[in-house]
Chains A and B, each alone.
Chain A
C-alpha cells in the first residue's frame, strides 16, 4: 500500500482533527468530513438557549500535552480561562469539603482522613502516571513477534520500576472497586463519595463495581494543569485543532454525513455521502465510534465473522446525561462562599448515595437523586452568557440509555429530579432558570453519533482497555480491512478530550504500526 495517498477522515471530533493535523503536517492530502454544521463533536461549544453557550464535554483535564505542543494549539487560539480547579464536595448540611492535592479543608474531617490523604495522593498519582505513559503508543499486540514482545516487556519493566511495594499495591488494587480501597484510607463519607464519584463518572458502574480503581486512575492520568476551563468553551480546543489541521493543509467539510464506507471486505475504496456524492479514498480514518464505523458504515458482512462479533459485543451503553441551565444570575449554594463558585462542585455525598443513584440504572430507571459534577464556566468566561447572566453545566448520573417507558415520557421527570436535587444545595435556583437543555444518552447519540450515547464511545474498563480496545486483534488503529483505520475514543487510550488516539492513529497511517 502506498503511504503517499490522500486520506479521508470521517468525523471532525477532537481525535479526527488531531489525526488530520498530524497527517497534513506529514504531507498527506487530508479531507475531514463532519456531519454537523461545525466541527468539535461532543467538545463543540453550542448555543443551547439564545445567548447562552456550553459544551457537552465541559472540563479539560486529559489533553495530551505533546499533542498540544506538536500542533501549537496555543498559537491556534487555545486559551484557558481557569486552571487547576479545586473540587468541592458539597455537603447537604452545608459543611462542604474543599479538596486540594496538598490538603483538605472543611467537611468535618477526622485526623485519620487528613493523615491518609498525602499517601493516597502519592500512590494514585504514581499509578495514574503509569497509565499516562501508555497513551503515547499503540498498545502492544499479543504475538510472538520480536517488536511485540519487546513492547510488552517494556510495559512490564515500567511497572517493575515503580518499586516492589508500589508495584504490588498497583497489582493488588488495579482490578478492585474504589469503595473497598477508600475504606482502607478514609472515614469521611463526604470524602469517599467525592473520590468514588471520580471513579464512576461516565461509567456504567457504582463505587462497589469492579475495576473502578482503574477508572479512577484513568481519570487522573492527565498531566499538567488539572481541571481547566477553556475560554470560549471546549469548542475552542477543537477549533484550535481544526485551525492547526487547516494551517497544515487539511480540508474540512462540514454539514455532510458519511452514509457508507465502500469496501469489498478486503480494502476500502471510498465513502458515500448523504447527498449521494461518492468520494474515492484508499485510506480512510474514522473518528466515528467503533460500532458505527465497523458495523454500520462498513457493515458486518465486510468483516470476518469473529471480528464482527467482537465489535458487536463491545459494551457501549451510556448512562451519563448532560444538563445545561441558562441562569438569570449567579446561584447561591448554602454554606459555600461565592468565591468558590468557579470551582468544580460535586454532588455525591457518600458512597451509599452513589450506589443508590446507580441501582435504578441497572433496571432501566433514572436516579431519583442523581450525582452531579457541576461547573459555572461563565464565572471565569463571561463570553458564554449575556452580561451578568450565567451558565450552569452539569454531568449527571445515572441515566440509562434504555429507559423503561422511554425517554420521551421520562425526560421531564428526570429534569425535575435533577432540579429538586440541585435545589437541595442551591435553594432558589429554580426562579433563576431562563432556559435549559438536558441531553440523555439517546440525545447524545442523535447529536454526536456515538453508539449508546456513550461519551467514551465504549465503556472504559479493564476488559475494553489497551490491546482489548476496541477489540482484540483490532487495537492498533489499523483495521482488518486494508486502508481503514479508527482514531476515536473507542480506541486506546479511550475517552476524554486527549487527542492521543488521533495522534496514534495518524502514526499508524504513516506506517508506524505494521500489519
Chain B
C-alpha cells in the first residue's frame, strides 16, 4: 500500500530527496557524506568503501536500491509489448522469475539495460539505471498495456554476500531457501507484502528486497537485528561499484553511453558490442532495433567490450588500450584492483577485430604517488570469465554461513 506523500518535495529547491531509509542510513553514515543518485540522496561510503566491499564478499552488505528507476508494465498486452520493446524473448521469463535484458532504438543502439521482474501473468516491473518512461510510453502505442513509473512507490534494499541467506532465514522468511537465482517471491512481513528476488549486482549470493516505503524503516531494523551475528553492514555505492566490476556487470553512463544521450551516433553501442549478443533473439519476432541488429549481425560489429587481466597492481582507470602495433584500439571503461581475484582488472571497449579471448594488449596507466604522477605500460590479457563467480552464487538451497 503506498501512502508516501510527495507534497513536501520542493523540486525547484532540491534535486535530491531523502530515501525512505534515510533515517537509518544517517545513523550508519559516519562520514556524513551524501551523493545524489537520480531523485534520492545516496551514500558513497558509510565509513570505508573497502570494509563495505569486504562485507559484500565475506559477510553481507545492505545497499539502498530505492533510487533505481522502476517501471510497472501491466495489462493483457504486457508480454507482446515487452517482447517488442526489449531484445530478448520475454516469454521465457515465467511468473516468479526475473530476467536481465537491454533495449535499443531503431538503429540497434542500446538505450539502457535492466531487470524485468515477472510477478503474475501480464504484470511486470522493469528496473533500470536511467529514467525510461518516455520511451516506454512511446513504445506502448498499439498495445493494450498500462505503463507507469513507480520509483517512489517502492523502497528497495539489496542484501548481498555469502551470509545473506542466513540473514533472511533468521528474519523468518520461511521457504526463501527454495528461491533459485533469478527467482522471485513474496512474504507477509510486518503486515505488509515483502517481495524478495534472488538477484543483485555483485555476482555473489544475494537478494533484493522490495517493500512499500512506509515499511522501509521496519525492514531495515529487522534486517540489521537478524544480521547482527552474520556480519551485516551498510554498504555504499563505492563498494557496490567494486563488486560489480569484479562480477563483470556493465553500468549505463560508465561502460556504455545510453543512445538517447549521445550526440555522436558512433559513441553508442549495440548489444553485440557490449558482449550481450546472447540477449538478442532474432527468432521471437519483431522488436525495436531488430532490422539494424540483424544487419550488424551479418556485417560484423565495430566494437567489443572485453574483460582485461592486467599485469601489476595499478588500477587502469580511464586507460588507453593499445594493440600490438602500438595503435590505440580502445579505452578502459571500468577498472580496479580486485582483492578477491588478486589482480588488476578492467572492462574495456576495443575496436574489432581486437578483443578475442586470450589476446595480449597493452594499457597505459597513469597513477599518482604522493602527488607525483607516474606512467606505466602494462600487459593486459583478454579473458572470458568474470573475475568473481563463486559456486555459492548458484547453490540452492544456499549455504548458511
A139 CA / B81 CA spacing, docked (Å): 33
Question: Is B401 an interface position by the 8 A CB rule?
Answer: no
Inside 8 A of A300's CB, which chain B residues have their CB?
Answer: 141-143
- Closest A residue to B84 using CB positions: A301
Q: Is B290 an interface residue (CB 8 A)?
A: yes
A306 to B105, CA, bound (A): 8
Q: Do B291 and A299 have beta carbons less than 8 Å apart?
A: no
On whether the beta carbons of A304 and B106 are closer than 8 Å, the reply is yes
Report B372 CB to chain A, min CB distance, Å: 49
**Is A308 interfacial (CB 8 A cutoff)?**
yes
Give A55 Cβ to nearest chain B Cβ, in Å.
Answer: 35
Q: Whole-angstrom distance between the alpha carbons of A260 and B80 in the complex? A: 18
The proximity string for B residues 279-293 relative to A, scoring 1 for CB distances below 8 Å and 0 otherwise, is: 000000111111100
Asked whether A312 is an interface residue with its Cβ less than 8 Å from the other chain, the reply is: yes
Chain B interface (Cβ < 8 Å from any Cβ of A): 77, 80-81, 84-85, 105-106, 135, 138-139, 141-143, 285-291
- Tell whether, in the assembled complex, residue B142 and residue A295 are in contact, meaning their CB atoms are under 8 Å apart: yes
Complex Cα distance, B84 from A301, in Å, reads: 7
- Inter-chain CA distance A27–B106, complex, in Å, is 36
For residue B286, which residues in chain A have a CB less than 8 angstroms away from its CB? 264-266, 302-304
Chain A residues with Cβ under 8 A from B289's Cβ?
304
For A301, what are the chain B residues with a Cβ–Cβ distance below 8 Å? 77, 80-81, 84, 142-143
Question: What chain B residues lie within 8 Å of A295 (beta carbons)?
Answer: 141-142
> A307: CB under 8 A from chain B?
yes
Query: Are the CB atoms of A306 and B288 closer together than 8 Å?
Result: yes
Min Cβ gap B291→A in Å is 7
A171 within 8 A of B: no
Inter-subunit contact B142/A306 (CB<8 Å): no
Whole-angstrom distance from the CB of B229 to the nearest CB of chain A? Answer: 51
Q: What distance in Å separates the Cβ of B78 from its nearest Cβ neighbour in chain A?
A: 12
Assuming the contacts A295-B142, A300-B142, A480-B291, asked whether A307 and B106 have C-beta atoms less than 8 A apart, the reply is: yes
Asked whether A430 is an interface residue with its Cβ less than 8 Å from the other chain, the reply is: no
Tell me the complex Cα distance, A295–B285, Å.
18
Proximity string of chain A (303-328) to chain B, C-beta cutoff 8 Å, 1 when within and 0 when not: 11111110010000000000000000
Q: Whole-angstrom distance between the alpha carbons of A302 and B142 in the complex?
A: 9
Please judge, given known A-B contacts A301-B80, A480-B291, whether A308 and B141 are in contact too, CB under 8 Å: yes
Q: Told that A304-B84, A306-B288, A312-B141 touch, could you supply 13 new A-B pairs with CB distance under 8 A?
A: A264-B285, A265-B84, A266-B285, A266-B290, A300-B141, A300-B142, A301-B142, A304-B106, A304-B286, A305-B139, A309-B138, A309-B141, A480-B291
Cβ–Cβ < 8 Å partners of B287 in chain A: 304
- Give 16 pairs: A residue, B residue, CB < 8 Å, sorted on A: A265-B286, A266-B290, A295-B141, A299-B142, A300-B141, A300-B143, A301-B80, A301-B143, A305-B84, A305-B85, A305-B135, A305-B138, A306-B105, A306-B288, A308-B142, A312-B141
User: In the bound complex, how far is the Cα of B289 from the Cα of A265, in angstroms?
Assistant: 12
Residue of A nearest to B294 (CB): A266
Interface readout for A367-383 with B: 1 if CB under 8 Å, 0 if not? 00000000000000000
- Which of B138, B286, B291 counts the most A-chain CB atoms under 10 A from its CB? B286
Chain A 256-288 residues near chain B, CB threshold 8 A: 264-266
- Provide the residues of chain B in CB contact with A307, threshold 8 Å: 106
A294 to B123, CA, bound (A): 28
Q: A301-B84, A301-B143, A312-B141 are in contact. Are A306 and B106 (CB under 8 A)?
A: yes
Contact A304 B143 (CB under 8 A): no
**Chain A residues within 8 Å of B285, by CB:** 264-266
Residues of B within 8 A of A264 (CB): 285-286
How far does the alpha carbon of A312 sit from the alpha carbon of B137 in the complex, in Å? 13
How far is A32 from B378 in the complex, measured between Cα atoms in Å? 70
In the assembled complex, the CB of B305 is this many whole angstroms from the nearest CB of chain A, namely: 25
- Tell me the bound Cα distance from A266 to B294 in angstroms: 12
